[in-house]
Structure 1
Amino acid sequence: MAEFILAIDQGTTGSTVALMDSAGKLRASVNHEFAQLYPQPGWVEHRPAEIWESVVKGIRALMRKRICKPAEIVAIGITNQRETALLWDRENGEPLNNAVVWQCRRTTDFCEQLKSDGHEKVIRRKTGLLLDPYFSASKYRWLLDNTAGVSRLRKAGRVAAGTIDSYLIWQLSAGDTHVTDVSNASRTSLMNLKSLRWDRQLLELFNVPEEILPQISPSSGVLGHTRNVPGLPDGIPIAGVAGDQQAALFGQACFSPADAKCTFGTGSFIVMNTGAEMLLSKSGLLTTVAWQLGDKGKPVYALEGGAFVCGAAVQWLRDGLQIIKSAADVEALARTVADHGGVEFVPALTGLGAPHWAPEARGTLSGMTRGSERGHIARATLDAMALQNADILRAMEVDIGKRLKPLRVDGGAAANDLLMQTQADVLGRKLIRPQVIETTVAGACYLAGLGVGLWKTPAEIRSIWQAQREFSVQMSATARRKRLASWEAALQRTLL
């Protein structure tokens, strides 16, 4: 009997459901988008029921393709938007409020108060994270304080909290399982990086009760089983879970220390494997758990820097400015001009992430003249996506004290050749694009396959990974310095 792995890639703007065969080939995938909610400036929400509905629709649509029989699915892997937090009722699985999305800045004042009270140092030391609204802990606190009826439900033991992976596992198992994996738990500001457990001091600091949180489990291994999922038989092992960026690192076969990748999604994220070393950044980057393979496996750590807005900037050109009809049109529009023509777009639409960490920053479009065209704005947008990553890479190299290896790239925007060449030029590094750019999906599948023994070791997975194209540096060092100086000036205007 053929063997397949079903992957659920639950992202910020939509959910992808995919099938991988035992040879590591992605056979089919479907995507369904859902609504983005912006109830106030700087706030971002999702309706949890719409997230689950998008997953169910994806499973049904995928199975209608008849790539495999339901009985041939040997495992499910999950990868998800991280930090997004929600509460639901343990009794009926109903969400108690909208999910507070990772991009949301509503808890900025609360985080600033914790900083002024002197708590950032201990949070940084225990979690590897900065004290920022980005992470889940302050979102849990806000939900507990602002959700109608939550006190009554808590007293009855009915409140469950989690990130999106936990919510999906709960739904897939019909409420039998409330777990998260170490990679997602490491993004909450509540897990101790050394012990891999919820930390009592941090729980008290954020006033989040441990009993509402999921059990922390490895990223690979059987975490639960399906029950009452439309289109799927009961009993399929849920055997691989990782946050999207950690899943992409695994999907890129970055199994050795100093291996790094950059994922271009709604945001963009550079993650570097640091192996068993829990390296705390001095340059505004984050330390995170990359993965843990099985109950007896040791955690693998990583350094990470993320820009909050990457592909979302192109969506803004499409939906906000309406200068393109589809996201794919941005490359053609950008190629109508020779360069950015002095136009700079700093896409701080939801604040600035690493290495600046300025949640109050807002986007700026500057340097325009009477000669500026739509093409210059499109080109400045692609440049900004690449230049944000250059800032992160330089910070990462400061932390590790050496130049990184060639950078592996993935995500939807990695298909944009102009963006990839721009990225190589402003980084001054060769880029390697894989054959399969859906590396978050691939990582979830690989973790699940290892979890049920479909593959025995990561070395088997490394043999599956293949490069599709390399982008060598074409920009001179002088031109790169000039481009970076123009970007830095624009950043400073944004940060004023």
Structure 2
Amino acid sequence: MTEQYVGAIDQGTTGTRFMVFDHEGQVVANAYEKHEQVYPEPGWVEHRPMEIWENTQSVIETALENAGLSADQLAAIGITNQRETTLLWDAESGKPVHNAIVWQDRRTTDRVETLEAEDKVEWVREKTGLEADAYFSATKAEWLLDNADPVKMQRARPADVRDRAAEGEVLFGTIDTWLIYNLTGNHITDVTNASRTMLFNIHDMAWDDELCAEFDVPMEMLPEVRPSSDDDYYGHTDPDGFLGAEVPVAGALGDQQAALFGQTCYDEGDAKNTYGTGSFFLMNTGNEAVTSEHGLLTTVGFQRTGEPVQYALEGAIFVTGAAIEWLEDVDLIENAAQTEELARSVDSTDGVYVVPAFTGLGAPHWDQRARGTIVGMTRGTRKEHIVRATLESIAFQTRDVMEAMEADSGIEMNDLRVDGGAVKNNFLCQLQANILDTTIVRPQVDETTALGSAYAAGLAVGYWETMDELRDNWQVDREFESDSDAEGVERRYGRWSEAVERSKDWARDDDGGE
């Protein structure tokens, strides 16, 4: 019998990765390609859906080829994706009607402020577990329906985009749905991605007709919602297609829920933080959707076929890894790895605080008009201080979320499982342990987002039979214990909170087109 593996498509904000895992959860193949970030106006961010699909095919082929594997050795494929990023496409041609609007995009801020003015924020939260924010898919879909260029549709069908959507001829999806559609021909999403649209009732576990009416999104264009690990599968790849094999596509989770699953946070109280473009702190709350009183999101954690939904509390921090990219953009560093060396070269930030609110503030503040701020600079401030303060901002933002999470859940965290690109930075991990006064646990396989979607797909097809097998696979690389002066940390955290206040409510409509 030919050795079998499970593949995972990890479609992220900056690029697309394909990884192949063996039964022990170890990586046997890996390929990655970046895609272009499109910025049509200040505060707007778009991706080209066809570029993402082409890159997806390319990384699958490259990873398999480099590892000497054939597609029929894949027992299943799982998908994980940047969440909330929204696109519409023509059902007949399969062509997008507009670029995808990325989760970071702020073009619908005014629409959210209308919801606030109409006192609908609590109504949205009660149904969806989400804050009313431009971050989520609903206002993006509404904007696309109102603004997508009909010329981009098939010319033989000149009807309005919205009219065609009401007939189910234009389809809505997040990136998981787009990839499932292109791989299998089926229009399907999973419960975790549906829960991020602001159109889905997380208590009824169904699309909500009142929310769809509010945002004028026809229910006919919405995908079928299925479990994250689906024993009935979402479909199979076309044996005559680019893979040349019929492979079940059987698991999908939004990237942060995938990391929760990959970190084996299967029990109530288990928590993880993923450091990517932004940071996302999730705690499993079991079968109960815990309502946040402190600015966190209530979201679907995962679901297996025939089993109850597992919910989670989430703190979404919009900018962490992106702040490191910004340091590169403005030539303060040459590459991300340099931050550790520069930060260690000074004893402190010398009173400098960086609040990287480039696209507003997420949890627990939720200020769409906050903007990036550096405070406390003197003539003696050097780039090393700014780099160190940027790393500290990642740790401080995480503490903001952890304090909110402990207040909402009543659970005190003993340790925090971490993953994502930035956790390769030992300085940051130690800093995080000190600022949280908690043990930081870094696993051996840090690509836990891809691993989580592979686990979901593999469980669905019986490649792994139990979740205990997955727990056994999870291995610690290193633990970081707090070794800091608690009084000094508290003083700095207090000053951080003051810096955050100075960043709030800064952007105005007449500031360069925002």
- TM tier relative to shorter chain: over 0.9
C-alpha deviation, 1:383, in angstroms: 0.4
Q: What is the identity percentage for the equivalent residue pairs of Structure 1 and Structure 2? A: 49
C-alpha distance in structure 1 between counterparts of 2:201 and 2:244, whole Å: 37
Residue 255 of structure 1, CA deviation:
0.6
Name 2:392's counterpart in structure 1.
Answer: 383
Q: Is 1:310 matched up with 2:311? A: no
1:284 corresponds in structure 2 to 295
One-letter amino acid matched to 2:95: E
Deviation at 1:152, TM superposition (A): 5.6
| 1:52 counterpart residue number | 53
SS at match of 1:65: helix
Correspondence 1:398 to 2:407: yes
Q: Name the stretch that deviates more: 354-363 or 108-117.
A: 108-117
Q: Deviations over 1:308-359 (max 9, x none)?
A: 001011111112x112222222222222211211111100000000000001
What aligned pairs does 1:215-234 form with structure 2 within 5 A after superposition?
215-221=224-230, 222-227=233-238, 231-234=242-245
Structure 1 residues 412 and 230 mapped into 2: Cα distance closer, same or farther (>3 Å)? Answer: farther
Are positions 1:166 and 2:167 aligned together? no
TM-score (ref. length: structure 2): 0.94
Equivalent residue for 1:256, pick from 267, 272, 277: 267
Alignment equivalent of 1:445, drawn from 454, 476, 491: 454
Task: Tell me by how many angstroms 1:67 deviates.
Answer: 3.9
- Structure 1 counterpart SS, 2:177: helix
Aligned residues: 492
| SS of residue in 2 equivalent to 1:220 | coil
Instruction: For 1:185-224, list aligned pairs within 5 A.
Output: 185-221=194-230, 222-224=233-235
Picking from 255, 280, 292, the partner of 1:269 is: 280
- Is the 2:167–2:220 Cα contact (8 Å) retained in structure 1? no
Q: Is the 8 A contact 2:6 2:75 kept in 1?
A: yes
2:155 is aligned to: none
Residue 129 of structure 1 is matched in structure 2 by 130
1:303 alignment partner, SS class:
strand
Residues 165 and 220 in structure 2, CA contact (< 8 A), matched pair in contact too: no
Which range is displaced more, 380-389 or 323-332?
Answer: 323-332
What's the counterpart of residue 158 of structure 2? Answer: none
Name the CA shift for 1:123/1:156 in 2 (closer, same or farther; >3 Å): closer
Letter of the aligned partner of 1:257 in structure 2? Answer: E
**Distance across 1 between alignment mates of 2:427 and 2:455:** 30
Give the residue type in structure 1 aligned to 2:11.
Answer: Q
2:511 — aligned with what?
A: none
SS in 2 for 1:88: strand
Q: Give distance in 2, aligned partners of 1:269 and 1:3.
A: 32
Is the 1:60–1:230 Cα contact (8 Å) retained in structure 2?
no
Separation in 1, partners of 2:498, 2:119: 32
Structure 1 equivalent of residue 351 of structure 2: 342
Say if 1:172 and 1:229, in contact at 8 Å, map to a contact too. no
RMSD in angstroms over aligned alpha carbons? 1.3
One-letter amino acid of the structure 2 residue matched with residue 288 of structure 1: T
1:377 partner letter: I
Aligned partners of 2:90 and 2:97 also within 8 Å: yes
In 2, the alpha carbon distance for the partners of 1:329 and 1:231 equals 40
**1:376 aligns to what SS in structure 2?**
helix
Structure 1 unaligned residues grouped into runs of 5+? none
Shift of 1:211: 0.7
Residues 446-476 of structure 1 deviation map (CA, whole Å, 9 limit, x = unaligned): 0010010111121111011011100000112
Instruction: Find out whether 1:120 has 2:131 as its counterpart.
Output: no
- Give the gaps of 5 or more residues in structure 2: 151-160, 506-514
The residue identity in structure 2 corresponding to 1:391 is: D
C-alpha distance in structure 1 between counterparts of 2:112 and 2:179, whole Å: 28
Offset at residue 362 of structure 1 (A): 0.6
Q: 2: CA distance between counterparts of 1:345 and 1:69? A: 48
Which residue is equivalent to 1:357?
A: 366
1:72-123 CA distance string (max 9 Å, x none): 1110010000000000111111111011111111111101101211211221
Q: Does 2:308 align with 1:298?
A: yes
| Cα distance in 2 for residues equivalent to 1:5 and 1:67 | 15
Kept after mapping to 2: 8 A contact 1:6/1:73: yes
More displaced, 221-230 or 17-26?
221-230
Distance in 2, matches of 1:4 and 1:411, equals 23
The match for 1:491 is 500
- Distance change (3 Å), C-alpha of 1:151 and 1:302: closer
CA–CA distance in structure 2, aligned partners of residues 137 and 39 of structure 1? 20
Indicate the larger mover: 257-266 or 34-43. Answer: 34-43
Question: In the alignment, which residue of structure 1 is the partner of 2:479?
Answer: 470
CA contact (8 A) 2:72 2:246 kept: no
Tell me the residue number matched to 2:489: 480
Letter in 2 for 1:336: S
The Cα shift of 1:231 comes to 4.5
Shift of 1:405: 2.8
**In the superposition, relative to structure 1, how do residues 210 and 229 fare at CA in structure 2: closer, same or farther (>3 Å)?**
farther
The CA distance in 1 between the partners of 2:61 and 2:464, in whole Å, is: 27
Range moving further from structure 2, 143-152 or 308-317: 143-152
**CA deviation after TM superposition for structure 1 residue 154, in Å:** 3.1
CA distance in structure 1 between the aligned counterparts of 2:425 and 2:457, rounded to whole angstroms: 30
- The more displaced of 329-338 and 128-137 is 329-338
With the length of structure 1 as denominator, give the TM-score of the two structures. Answer: 0.97
* Alignment map for 1:79-98 (pairs within 5 Å): 79-98=80-99
The one of 154, 163, 180 equivalent to 2:189 is 180
User: Aligned equivalents of 1:331 and 1:130: distance in 2?
Assistant: 35
Q: Is the 8 A contact 2:166 2:218 kept in 1?
A: no
How far apart are the structure 1 equivalents of 2:483 and 2:257?
Answer: 30
CA offsets per residue over residues 19-63 of structure 1, 9 Å max, x none? 001222111211111111121121111111111122112112112
Q: Which residue of 2 aligns with 1:78?
A: 79
Give the CA deviation at 1:249: 0.3
How big is each residue's C-alpha offset from its partner over 1:406-457, in whole Å with a ceiling of 9 and x where there is no partner? 0000001111101111111111111100011100011011001001011112
**How far did 1:228 drift?**
6.3
For structure 1, which segment, 226-235 or 459-468, has the greater mean C-alpha deviation from structure 2 after superposition?
Answer: 226-235
Cross-structure match for 1:433? 442
